[in-house]
Amino acid sequence: MLTPPPPKIKRLKTNGTRPVKSRPEQENLSTAQLHRLVLAKQLEALDQQMRVNTKLETVLDKAEEILNNYITPK
């Protein structure tokens, strides 16, 4: 008994170009808008890092105070 040939895989003919995909909103922004967006994100990261550093300074100051009290008897 003869079996039918396997189905052919149909491929999109693109003539050497890539198929167009929908782009996220950021890709539609101008270069200046993207630059502003990057700067805003960097500013947020720096602000967060400053808050972390302030907390670390507080912890280190407290640790120094505790060590000084431990080392120097009253």
Q: Which two tokens stand for residue 24?
A: 């996220």
| Residues 22, 30: Cα–Cα separation, whole Å | 17
What pLDDT score does 50 carry?
98
Q: What is the mean pLDDT of each run of 10 residues along the chain (74 residues)?
A: 73 64 66 93 98 97 94 78
Query: Residue 54 sits in which domain range?
Result: 30-71
Residue 37 domain-assigned (yes or no): yes
Question: Is 3 within a domain?
Answer: no
Indicate whether 14 belongs to any domain.
Answer: no
Task: Decide: 27 and 19 in contact? Cβ < 8 Å.
Answer: no
How far is residue 33's CA from residue 26's CA, in Å, rounded to a whole number?
Answer: 9
Task: Please report whether residue 6 resides in a domain.
Answer: no
Q: What is the pLDDT of residues 60-71, one digit of tens each?
A: 999 999 999 999
Contact, 29 vs 37, CB < 8 A? yes
- pLDDT, residue 52, reads 97
The domain tally of the chain equals: 1
The confidence score (pLDDT) of residue 1 equals 60
Please check whether residue 67 lies inside any domain of the structure: yes
Contact 26, 34 (CB under 8 A): yes
